[in-house]
Amino acid sequence: MQLHLQVCRFTAYALTLLLLAEVTQVHAEFACFNKLQKLFVFGDSYSRISFNATGPQPSVSNPYGNNGSTSANGPNWVNYITGTYNESLILTYDFALSGAVVNNSIVSSNTRPDLVNEFKVNFVGAYGNASGLFNPERSIFAFWFGINDVNISYNSRGRDTYAEIMASYHELVLQLYGIGARNFLFLYVPPLQRAPVIASGSNASTNIPLMETAVREFNSRIYNMTQTLQTELSDATVFLHDSYATFDKVIDNPGSSQETALLRDTKNYCTSYAG
């Protein structure tokens, strides 16, 4: 099911700027953006740049190492942070995979990619304990999960589904902390109830409130997790970006951002936007 919001490609610009300026910083020990050296990304198609950890590695000549298509049919927020709005040379290791969830044993089948696989197989499999791979103070680990988790479960989840997902999410972040990660960025799930497939679907009157409730619950749990992490990890910095508000703002008023001002329809599916 195609759940990408129509403004996905265009909000990449705005999202990047907002990531740098409008995040909630739970703890302030980050060396600051202009000293950032490495970006590690875990997520789904909203973050995918088709990096292969076994291929050429990020370098001065190619900060992505190797990369290919994105779901935006053009640059996404990872590309813009790395190569457009960066204030230093940023080497980016992007493990995001289309369709990924946090833990496929909770909401899907073992054939769907997940954070467990991205970390334990792709990251650890390629870099071991990451010794010498990054400077903790000048590296940040970004996570954008929940879009597929919510899409799969919004109308059929059990009472404890999201609690189980967050427990797994939390544990994997702690494992990254254990190998040296000290700066973390989390992003909220965007307002999926406004995606055309939901908002204009045949069961819209039922699915819109179900989806909105699910997204808000999932985001609330992300917020709570960031608070817990900062309490547990006193020497870490935790950032939380409200991508829900970012998407809402642009969908309501494309002119609110210079980068999206040319959009004319943010409510219906349009193949031109995906071209």
Q: What is the pLDDT of residue 156?
A: 85
CB of 186 within 8 A of CB of 143?
yes
Neighbours of 118 (CB within 10 A): 25
Q: What is the pLDDT of residue 273?
A: 58
pLDDT confidence tier of residue 131, bands split at 50, 70 and 90: confident
Q: What is the pLDDT of residue 9?
A: 40
pLDDT confidence tier of residue 30, bands split at 50, 70 and 90: low
* Order of strands across the sheet that contains 237-241: 23-25, 237-241, 183-187, 139-144, 38-43, 91-94
Which residue in the block uniquely carries the two structure tokens 């999201």?
Answer: 162
Q: What is the pLDDT of residue 29?
A: 54
In this predicted structure, the answer to whether residue 191 has a pLDDT above a threshold of 60 is yes
Structure tokens at 238: 């935790």
Question: What does the mean pLDDT of the chain come to?
Answer: 87
Mean pLDDT of 161-183: 96
How far is residue 66's CA from residue 57's CA, in Å, rounded to a whole number?
7
CATH number of 11-274: 3.40.50.1110
Mean pLDDT of 225-252: 93
Q: What is the pLDDT of residue 263?
A: 79
How far is residue 107's CA from residue 162's CA, in Å, rounded to a whole number?
9
75 or 10, which is more confident? 75
How far is residue 97's CA from residue 264's CA, in Å, rounded to a whole number?
30
Mean pLDDT of 133-159: 93
Using CA atoms of 223, 35, 40, 61 in order, give the dihedral in degrees to the nearest 10.
150
Backbone angles phi, psi at 13, to 5 degrees: -65, -55
CB of 263 within 8 A of CB of 10?
yes
Phi-psi region of 217 (alpha: psi -120 to 50; beta: other; left: phi over 0): alpha
Which of 18-32, 87-101, 204-218, 219-233 comes out lowest in average pLDDT?
A: 18-32
Spell out the domain ranges in the chain.
Answer: 11-274
Rg from Cα positions in the chain: 18
How far is residue 15's CA from residue 241's CA, in Å, rounded to a whole number?
9
Q: What is the pLDDT of residue 1?
A: 39
pTM, 2 dp: 0.90
Q: What is the pLDDT of residue 229?
A: 96
| SS3 label, residue 115 | helix
Q: What is the pLDDT of residue 14?
A: 44
Which of 33-47, 165-179, 248-262 comes out lowest in average pLDDT?
A: 248-262
Backbone angles phi, psi at 16, to 5 degrees: -60, -45
